[in-house]
């Protein structure tokens, strides 16, 4: 019996039970039958949750790119691996076959090695959604270099922090990038960042916009001439199952971003398995995930998951609103897309536009539609189901995180009955539990609590780069021995899960994970600001938006408030990126604080939401009178 593909609901329950009772047999069999290994494992899994130590496929040797590309060449060499759809609809799309991808990745791998990059070195990739991005990621993995992709919307300061945190030796970037009707000067952002990044020895520059840029002698090199000269013969590195594959930064509720480290074999097995089953991908399907490869969704479900299954995956450079709001629908028709995977924030934005943007498109090629990144509200769920899925395509609401590497709770297309706003059931191998405030496990159904996972799964992040203690503290200490997700969830009468949102100081804005503390740090750097507190509040399109309460220093009191608000948003944009800008700013004379000096955010959240009904117990506040004052000044 094979466990790789689930064919019915009954079989799902069978496989699920097997995966819980005998996880070693379950994952061992999947790993053995569906991948090629240089050497088999000694043990399927070895772990100590209290110490946050997890290892899968111990001592096995493997290369993920051999599995994602080379393995398919005999049978699928001429099949399209990647369809590149440019930002400008008038520019022709590219169809890159598995043979061509192999050749391009091998050349790039040889270029990296010739530039002195070896196994274990960190390479920062700061590129727009162009084929070079996919090729650079895969080339790193082929030679065992650890890729750290930084989303090309991040500012120079944010890029520098990430480069320095993991001491990247090289940056791969481009002259610029196209997004809608804007051009972004990526190379000049890299130049600014590198003023404070001593570890970077070289910068490879791809050409995209052909804009004039400055090249620093001894550091910057145009990529294409190197590729033209490079051999396409490349021997892949033999990697240990637990060798790091990549680092990807995610914001924390405090302090600097966390470099989540994913390792090789477990991530490979889990992304391949979840891609196959959640989406029910079949040969000749065309899969389109609209995320950017700068996020985990892009890593796992534009690149690794699809390619490991020999699939055809679409890489889209543009945005849903350019040249108009029909762009997504036009691309689906153009490439006969069968699987469409996007975020609720995009759905809400498109649902708000005139129905004429979507109506002319029959979208008959679609078989499955998916959602990821934040809770999908009932209205958006129905609009997506009716207008995109034609009430015919299963809508898979996939819950997971950067830290989990792959999808954790989700319907399986054509198998699990869907229920609006519910991520539904855990995938095989995933053991969710809900915890109460006293840190006890909540049994039974129709309950809510903090969502934890009590057994390791193959793609769990292994550590935070350079700071295992922080990894342990963040994920394994709130509920000792369990992985704490930071999310709250409800389990309904049949055991379906609905994710209700973050229970910590992380706010999901347009599907982007933002920690409030780093934004406060950025604001507090403004010379007129004394203190600030950021909370999220519900927003029609973004899901959540940011509300800032700001106390000015005496020197700031006389300043024009509008100018100050603009300057503060510019600081945030500069330090983090435009995504973290505040929607509302209220200048206040104080913040509600407990005797121990902790800001009572719960109250600030309620005021931001406009819910003045019940502030709960404010008797522990040092300054309870401030609550009324802030409430009266709400904007």
**What ranges in 488-560 are assigned the alpha helix state H?**
516-524
Nearer residue to ligand WT7 within complex by CB, 106 or 489: 489
> Which residue, 280 or 402, has its beta carbon nearer to ligand WT7?
402
- Let me know: does 172 contact 147? Beta carbons within 8 Å: no
Q: Please choose, from the candidates 132, 120, 133, 127, the residue with its C-alpha nearest in 3D space to the C-alpha of residue 169.
A: 120
| Residue 502 binding ligand WT7, by CB under 6 A | yes
Least Cβ distance, residue 499 to ligand WT7 (angstroms): 4
**CB-count exposure of residue 89 (10 Å: 0-12, 13-18, 19+):** middle
Distance CA 296, CA 249 (A): 9
* In contact, 470 and 258? CB cutoff 8 Å: yes
Out of 178, 400, 471, 476, the only residue in the binding site for ligand WT7 (CB under 6 A) is: 400
CA distance 342 to 384: 10
Neighbours of 593 (CB within 10 A): 17
Residue 203 in contact with residue 170, Cβ under 8 Å?
yes
Distance (Å, whole) CA 364 – CA 357: 16
Q: How far is residue 246 from each of residues 65, 94, 125, 544, 585, measured CA to CA in Å?
A: 13, 27, 11, 29, 37
Write a three-state SS string for 561-622: HHHHHHHHHHHHHHHCCHHHCCCEEEEECCCCEECCCCECHHHHHHHHHCCCCCCCCCCCEC
Residue 48, SS3 per DSSP: strand
Contacting range for ligand WT7; rule: CB under 6 A; set: 19-27, 265-273, 329-337, 396-404: 396-404
Shortest Å, Cβ 267 to ligand WT7: 14
Contact 22, 1 (CB under 8 A): no
Q: How far is the CB of 301 from ligand WT7 (least distance, A)?
A: 9
- Judged by CB under 6 A, the chain residues 364 through 383 that form the site for ligand WT7 are 371-375
Binding mask 167-196 for ligand WT7 (x = CB under 6 A): ------------------------------
| DSSP β-bridge partners for residue 372 | 398
CB of 400 to ligand WT7, least distance (A): 4
* Residue (220 or 504) nearer to ligand WT7, CB: 504
Under the criterion CB under 6 A, does residue 542 sit at the interface with ligand WT7? Answer: no
410, 423 Cβ separation under 8 angstroms: yes
What's the full length of the chain, in residues? 635
Contact characters 284-313, ligand WT7, x per CB under 6 A: ------------xx----------------
**Could you say whether residue 508 binds ligand WT7 (CB under 6 A)?**
yes
Interface with ligand WT7 includes 401 (CB under 6 A)?
yes
State CA 436 to chain mean position distance.
28
User: Quick one: 41 or 301, whose CB is closer to ligand WT7?
Assistant: 301
3-state per-residue secondary structure call for 472-488: HHHHHCCCCCCEEEEEE
Instruction: Using the minimum distance from each CB to ligand WT7, give the nearer residue, 63 or 424.
Output: 424
Distances (CA, A) of 454 to 175, 262, 278, 312: 46, 19, 22, 35
In this complex, which beta carbon is closest to ligand WT7, that of residue 144 or of residue 405? 405
How far apart CA 124 and CA 627 sit, in angstroms, is 45
First to last CA, the chain: 61
Pair 274, 238: CB distance under 8 Å: no
Please tell me whether residue 398 binds ligand WT7 under the rule CB under 6 A.
yes
Min CB(398)–ligand WT7 separation in Å:
5
Scanning 108-116, 161-169, 384-392, 482-490 for contacts with ligand WT7 by CB under 6 A, the matching segment is 482-490
Does the footprint of ligand WT7 cover residue 394 (CB under 6 A)? no
- Site for ligand WT7 contains 421 (CB under 6 A): no
Out of 23, 131, 394, 486, the residue judged to bind ligand WT7 by CB under 6 A:
486
Number of residues in contact with ligand WT7, rule: CB under 6 A?
A: 22
Minimum Å gap between C-beta 406 and ligand WT7 is 9
Q: CB of 443 within 8 A of CB of 498?
A: no
Decide if residue 242 touches ligand WT7 (CB under 6 A): no
Residue number, 105 or 278, with CB nearest to ligand WT7: 278
Shortest Å, Cβ 161 to ligand WT7: 17
Within a 10 A sphere around the Cβ of 584, how many other Cβ atoms?
14
113 scored as a contact of ligand WT7 (CB under 6 A): no
Window contacting ligand WT7 (CB under 6 A); options: 159-167, 392-400, 460-468, 589-597:
392-400
Using CB under 6 A, which of the segments 145-153, 190-198, 399-407, 462-470 binds ligand WT7? 399-407
Interaction of residue 279 with ligand WT7, rule CB under 6 A: no
**Using CB under 6 A as the criterion, what x/- string covers residues 509-538 for binding ligand WT7?**
----x-------------------------
CB 104 within 8 Å of CB 81 = no
Nearer to ligand WT7, 34 or 371 (CB): 371
Spacing of C-alpha 590 from chain mean position: 36
Instruction: Check residue 86 for interaction with ligand WT7 (CB under 6 A).
Output: no
Q: Does 423 participate in binding ligand WT7 (rule CB under 6 A)?
A: yes
Q: How far apart (Å, rounded) are the C-alpha atoms in residues 186 and 166?
A: 20
Binding to ligand WT7 by residue 402, rule CB under 6 A? Answer: yes
> Which tokens sit at 26?
């379950």
- If one asks whether residue 499 binds ligand WT7 (CB under 6 A), the answer comes out as yes
- Part in contact with ligand WT7 (CB under 6 A); list of ranges 281-289, 319-327, 479-487, 515-523: 479-487
Other C-beta atoms lying within 10 Å of the C-beta of residue 632:
8
* 274 contacts ligand WT7 (rule: CB under 6 A): no
Q: Nearer Cβ to ligand WT7, position 3 or 341?
A: 341
Q: Please state the closest distance from residue 367 (CB atom) to ligand WT7, in A.
A: 20
Write the Ramachandran bin of 522: left for phi over 0, alpha for psi from -120 to 50, otherwise beta.
alpha
| 579, 508 Cβ separation under 8 angstroms | no
Least CB distance to ligand WT7 at residue 344 (A): 8
Binding stretches for ligand WT7 (CB under 6 A): 250, 296-297, 371-375, 397-402, 423, 485-487, 499, 502, 508, 513
């Amino acid at each position: 019996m094979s466990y790789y593909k689930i064919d019915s609901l009954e079989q799902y329950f069978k496989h699920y039970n097997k995966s819980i009772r005998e996880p070693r047999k379950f994952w061992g069999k999947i790993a053995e039958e569906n991948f090629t290994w240089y050497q088999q494992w000694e043990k399927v899994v070895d772990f100590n949750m209290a110490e946050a130590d997890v290892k899968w496929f111990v001592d096995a040797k493997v290369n993920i790119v051999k599995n994602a590309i080379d393995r398919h060449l005999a049978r699928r060499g001429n099949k399209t691996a990647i369809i590149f759809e440019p930002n400008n609809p008038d520019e022709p799309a590219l169809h890159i076959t598995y043979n061509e991808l192999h050749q391009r990745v091998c050349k790039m791998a040889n270029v990296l090695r010739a530039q002195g990059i070896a196994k274990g070195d960190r390479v920062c990739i700061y590129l727009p959604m162009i084929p070079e991005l996919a090729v650079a990621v895969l080339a790193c993995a082929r030679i065992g270099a650890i890729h750290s992709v930084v989303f090309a919307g991040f500012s120079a300061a944010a890029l520098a922090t990430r480069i320095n945190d993991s001491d990247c030796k090289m940056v791969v970037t481009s002259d610029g990038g196209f997004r809608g009707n804007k051009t972004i000067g990526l190379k000049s952002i890299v130049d600014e960042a590198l003023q404070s990044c001593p570890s970077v020895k070289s910068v490879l520059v791809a050409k995209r916009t052909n804009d004039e840029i400055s090249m620093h002698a001894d550091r910057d090199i145009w990529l294409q001439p190197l590729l033209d000269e490079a051999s396409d013969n490349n021997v892949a590195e033999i990697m240990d199952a637990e060798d790091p594959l990549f680092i990807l930064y995610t914001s924390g509720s405090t302090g600097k971003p966390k470099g989540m480290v994913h390792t090789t074999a477990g991530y490979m097995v889990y992304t391949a398995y979840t891609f196959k089953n959640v989406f029910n991908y079949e040969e000749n399907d065309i899969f389109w995930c609209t995320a950017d490869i700068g996020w985990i969704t892009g890593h796992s479900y534009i690149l690794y998951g699809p390619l490991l299954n020999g699939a055809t995956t679409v890489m889209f450079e543009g945005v849903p609103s350019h040249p108009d709001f029909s762009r997504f629908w036009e691309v689906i028709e153009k490439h006969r897309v069968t699987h469409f995977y996007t975020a609720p924030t995009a759905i809400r934005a498109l649902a708000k536009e005139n129905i004429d943007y979507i109506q002319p498109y029959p979208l008959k090629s679609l078989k499955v539609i998916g959602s990821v990144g934040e809770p999908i509200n009932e209205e958006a769920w129905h609009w997506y189901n009716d207008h995109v899925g034609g009430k015919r395509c299963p809508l898979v609401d996939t819950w997971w995180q950067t830290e989990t590497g792959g999808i954790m709770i989700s319907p399986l297309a054509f198998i699990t009955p869907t229920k609006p706003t519910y991520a539904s059931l855990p995938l095989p191998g995933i053991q969710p539990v809900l915890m109460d405030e006293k840190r006890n496990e909540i049994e039974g159904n129709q309950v809510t609590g903090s969502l934890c996972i009590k057994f390791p799964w193959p793609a769990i992040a292994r550590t935070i780069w350079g700071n295992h203690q922080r990894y342990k503290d963040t994920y394994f200490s709130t509920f000792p021995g369990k992985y704490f997700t930071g999310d709250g969830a409800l389990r309904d009468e049949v055991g379906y899960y609905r994710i209700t949102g973050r229970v910590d100081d992380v706010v999901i804005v347009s599907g982007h994970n933002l920690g409030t503390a780093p934004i406060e740090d950025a604001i507090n750097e403004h010379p007129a600001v004394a203190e600030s507190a950021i909370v999220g509040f519900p927003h029609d399109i973004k899901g959540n938006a940011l509300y800032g309460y700001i106390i000015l220093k005496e020197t700031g009191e006389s300043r024009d408030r509008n100018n100050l608000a603009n300057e503060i948003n510019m600081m945030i944009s500069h330090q983090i990126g435009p995504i973290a800008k505040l929607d509302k700013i209220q200048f206040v004379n104080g913040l509600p604080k407990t005797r121990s000096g902790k800001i009572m955010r719960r109250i600030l959240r309620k005021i931001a939401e406009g819910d003045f009904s019940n502030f709960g117990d404010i008797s522990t506040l040092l300054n309870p009178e401030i609550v009324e004052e802030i409430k009266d000044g709400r904007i």
